[in-house]
Amino acid sequence: DAKTTQPTSMDCAEGRAANLPCNHSTISGNEYVYWYRQIHSQGPQYIIHGLKNNETNEMASLIITEDRKSSTLILPHATLRDTAVYYCIVRGFTGTASKLTFGTGTRLQVTL
């Protein structure tokens, strides 16, 4: 079962930052927070992941609260091509804990 809670949908104006929240209040100490996105008619694409420190890569930034019970994915300058469903997943990395379980995600619509 999915262990994350995300808003169903969000809108963002092109060029503005998109901040996508995720609640994972039951996360355990050895579980990471992963973000994937799925653009229409494509397979999911990895974005970023983190354990407890904030992370940044060329696609996005991930802000994890100190208690690790929630996180925010930040797309600093959203473009129309960022319109997609964004999935927040918590996952361990050994054995069955490493199974990826997708929730319903957040549908981000970037508009002009």
Partner 1 sequence: GAGVSQSPSNKVTEKGKDVELRCDPISGHTALYWYRQSLGQGLEFLIYFQGNSAPDKSGLPSDRFSAERTGGSVSTLTIQRTQQEDSAVYLCASRQQGGLPLNTEAFFGQGTRLTVV
Binding residues vs partner 1 (CB under 8 A):
32, 34, 36, 38, 42-46, 49, 85, 87, 93, 95-96, 98-105
Dist CA 69 CA 102 (whole Å): 17
Task: State in angstroms the smallest separation of the CB of 50 from partner 1.
Answer: 10
Sign for the CA dihedral angle at 91, 93, 98, 102 comes to: positive
Q: How many Å separate Cα 112 from the centre of its chain?
A: 23
Q: Which is nearer to partner 1, 10 or 14 (CB)?
A: 10
In contact, 71 and 64? CB cutoff 8 Å: yes
Task: State in angstroms the smallest separation of the CB of 57 from partner 1.
Answer: 11
In contact, 24 and 69? CB cutoff 8 Å: yes
Q: Which is nearer to partner 1, 13 or 97 (CB)?
A: 97
Q: Which is nearer to partner 1, 15 or 46 (CB)?
A: 46
Task: State in angstroms the smallest separation of the CB of 108 from partner 1.
Answer: 15
